[in-house]
Amino acid sequence: MEFLTVLQFLSPGFDRVTLLAVFCTVFALVFDFMKRRQKCINYPPGPWTLPFIGSVFHVSNNNPYTSFEKLRGKYGNTFSLQFGWTDVVVLNGYEAIKDGLVKKSKDTSDRPTVPIYQRYFSGFGQGIVFAKYGQWWQDHRRFALSTLKNFGLGKKSLELRIVEEASFLNNELEAEIGHPFDPHFRINNATSNIICSLIFGDRFDYQDTKLLHLLEIIDESMLLEAGFWAKLVNMFPFIDGLPGPHRRIFQNRMKLVEFLQEIVAEHKEVWDPNEPRDFIDAFLVECEKMKATPNTSFTETSLFSTSLDLFGAGTETTSTTLRWGLLFMVLFPDIQEKVQEEIDQVIGTERKPALGDQKTMAFTNAVIHETQRFGSIVPNSLPHETSRDTEIMGFSIPKGTMVIPNLSSALYDPKFWAKPHEFNPGHFLNDSGRFVKPEAFIPFSAGPRVCLGEQLAKMELFLFFTSLLQRFTFSCRRTSPNPATPAPNMGSPAAQCHSSSVFDSDKLGAPVHRCVLHY
Ligand code: HEM
């Protein structure tokens, strides 16, 4: 107020509100001008910007991929944007993403401070997903990976757990014969049960209303986090306290924390440090070990953020990919038939699928990979940030710039894919029908921040997908409109066929051993 009084003294006749507005505008213009000067030497080109809002209006909220493609056509594979006052560089095509995330990984592996997550995590440490690039992230990522390995990642025990869960899922779907139903949360429940087994040492029944509520919460939060309001709050953090849908994100977060608090309390009652049963037990052992270390990041509060990261990241992603897979089977029945022929040949009808089958099931493997490529469920990865000045594709990028790896642009890069905009399992098969993986296949991103759950997700995708297709045939309900050919990059398949995302099933008699599940 002192400052305003001085201004008022210098400009008599103007009221305080007018003076404040004039001052803010001048400040914004000067700040914007200084930023432009700072960036102009060899900075990636980009569209024009406006003070305060930057170039955000050049990017569609519903389909950023199309906007990025337009901008890429005009400015090239490495172009710049400005979201509010945040400088952003978008990397397009496999070559630019590899240069940015792999070759310059030491410079680009930080995460930006996203205001909505800053509030989201306040008091609970950084977790892993949005942790800054440094000791905390390194310690927690390493601990999570090695603990998940100890509890079965890549081992037979976890494989058997997934196969068992796939049977539960099949039973659930079978129980719906003759009734219309939506598979969304059952598949979520199945994938979430795998990560729950690793973190909490337990699974949840498909009728468990508590878990169902939590899965709905995660689903809602993910939609809200990608929505308009969250973007607005990230650009203008000061509106964070205003009412709006973004506040649900914080409320949902608290519900998840409360759920975890209960589970941790139960664990502590029967905790034996010599025999950790799951991730929570192992984390508590680590907390005990590090108790005497000053400023240790292994505390009970950080257990919440890390576990929630694994729980959230490990549920929706794999489940969404599986639902894309089912939708593609509905849309391409000839491909579904070929997958089933391979299943019948290699696995048969009685034995349960095993990971070892993968090497003799080139076509099924190709279909799963093509589902991931064409579905592109995390189209822009997670945002990165430069932790020091760097150079990507010959452009100078200053420290503190947000880097968006446009993963879809690599997954549809015409240099690597013969028919990038078609669902074509042939992309992963060579002339003699053997499975091959082009290097531009990066749905899990690349570099040090590559998805921590890649190995787990791959195990789950193969075992769940083959189990489902061993038991069922998926097709469009005779009375339903055919689900529209999906436009990928939209995240969830339900977004494409909302009205028809209900399955209906009826059983065919012998000699066909599969049930038909109708979309
Ligand atoms: C099909 C399934 C999945 C896909 C497509 C996927 C994709 C991704 C992508 C694109 C990233 C961002 C990488 C980057 O910043 O460049 C990521 C990060 C991450 N994912 Fe996944 N993910 C999947 C499943 C999982 C599962 C099952 C887990 C559970 C263990 C998981 C845990 C994580 C974590 C913890 C991170 C943050 C890594 C870090 O910042 O160091 N993901 N994932």
Q: pLDDT (tens digit, 9 = 90+) per residue, 368-407?
A: 999 999 999 999 999 999 999 999 999 999 999 999 999 9
- Is this complex's ipTM strictly greater than 0.85? yes
Contact, 220 vs 248, CB < 8 A? Answer: yes
The pLDDT of residue 108: 98
Q: What's the pLDDT score for residue 519?
A: 54
* 236 confidence band (pLDDT: 50, 70, 90): confident
pLDDT at 431: 95
Angle at 318 between CA 123 and CA 180, to 5 degrees: 115
* Contact assessment for residue 194 and residue 457, using Cβ atoms and an 8 Å cutoff: no
CB of 100 closer than 6 angstroms to any ligand 1 atom? no
DSSP-derived 3-state class of residue 252 = helix
Q: Six-digit token pair at 84? A: 């509010």
Pairing of strands 402-406, 384-385: antiparallel
What pLDDT is recorded for position 497? 34
Q: Is the pLDDT of residue 510 over 80?
A: no
Could you tell me if 128 and 452 are in contact, meaning their C-beta atoms sit under 8 angstroms apart? Answer: yes
- Provide the token pair at 43: 């900075």
Rounded to an integer, what distance in angstroms lies between the CA atom of residue 261 and that of residue 246?
A: 24
The mean pLDDT value for 337-353 works out to 96
Total residues belonging to the chain: 519
Instruction: Judge whether residue 269 has pLDDT over 80.
Output: yes
CATH superfamily assigned to domain 133-377+419-496+508-517: Cytochrome P450 (1.10.630.10)
Residue whose CA is at the smallest distance from ligand 1 atom 22: 451
Following DSSP, what letter does each residue of 11-33 receive, concatenated? STT--HHHHHHHHHHHHHHHHHH
**515 pLDDT band (50/70/90 cuts)?**
low
Could you tell me the pLDDT band of residue 471, with boundaries at 50, 70 and 90? Answer: very high
Among protein residues, the one with the nearest Cα to ligand 1's atom 41 is: 449
* The pair of three-digit structure tokens given for residue 238, joined into one six-digit string: 């000061």
Q: Torsions phi, psi of 385, nearest 5? A: -145, 145
How far apart are the CA of 451 and the centre of ligand 1, in A? 3
Q: Which residue has the tokens 């099931």?
A: 361
Rounded to the nearest whole angstrom, what is the distance from the C-alpha of residue 447 to the centroid of ligand 1? 12
- Tell me if 376 sits within 8 A of 420, measured CB to CB: no
Residue 79 β-bridge partners: 90
Amino acid in the structure at residue 174 = E
Check: CB of residue 100 under 8 Å from CB of residue 392: yes
Q: Give the strand pairing for 390-392 and 515-518.
A: unpaired
Spatial distance between the Cα atoms of 322 and 115, rounded to a whole number of angstroms = 32
Q: How far apart are CA 325 and CA 148, in angstroms?
A: 26
Of 99, 60, 92, 94, the closest CA to residue 76 belongs to 92
Rounded to an integer, what distance in angstroms lies between the CA atom of residue 260 and that of residue 156?
Answer: 28
Q: Would you say the CB of residue 408 lies under 6 angstroms from ligand 1?
A: no
Average pLDDT over residues 352-374: 97
Separation between Cα atoms, residue 378 and residue 366, nearest integer Å: 19
Mean pLDDT (whole number) for 231-249: 78
CA max distance for the chain? 93
If residue 474 lies in a helix (H) or strand (E), which one and from where to where? strand 472-475
Lowest mean pLDDT among 24-38, 132-146, 183-197, 357-371: 24-38
> Which ligand 1 atom sits nearest the alpha carbon of residue 130?
40
pLDDT at 480 over 70: no
Question: Average pLDDT, whole number, for the chain?
Answer: 85
- Tell which atom from ligand 1 comes closest to the C-alpha of 384: 15
For the chain, the C-alpha Rg in angstroms (whole number) is: 25
Instruction: List the alpha helices (DSSP H) in 40-63.
Output: none
- Spatial strand order of the sheet with 472-475 comes to 472-475, 515-518, 504-507
Q: What is the pLDDT of residues 97-154, one digit of tens each?
A: 999 999 999 999 999 987 777 766 666 678 899 999 999 999 999 999 999 999 888 7
Q: Any residues with CB less than 8 A from the CB of 24 and at least 6 apart, and which? A: none
pLDDT at 209: 86
With H, G, I as helix, E, B as strand and everything else as coil, classify residue 226. coil
Is residue 88 within 8 A of residue 56, CB to CB? The reply is no
Report how far ligand 1's centroid is from the alpha carbon of 313 (Å): 6
For ligand 1, say whether the CB of 194 is within 6 Å of any of its atoms: no
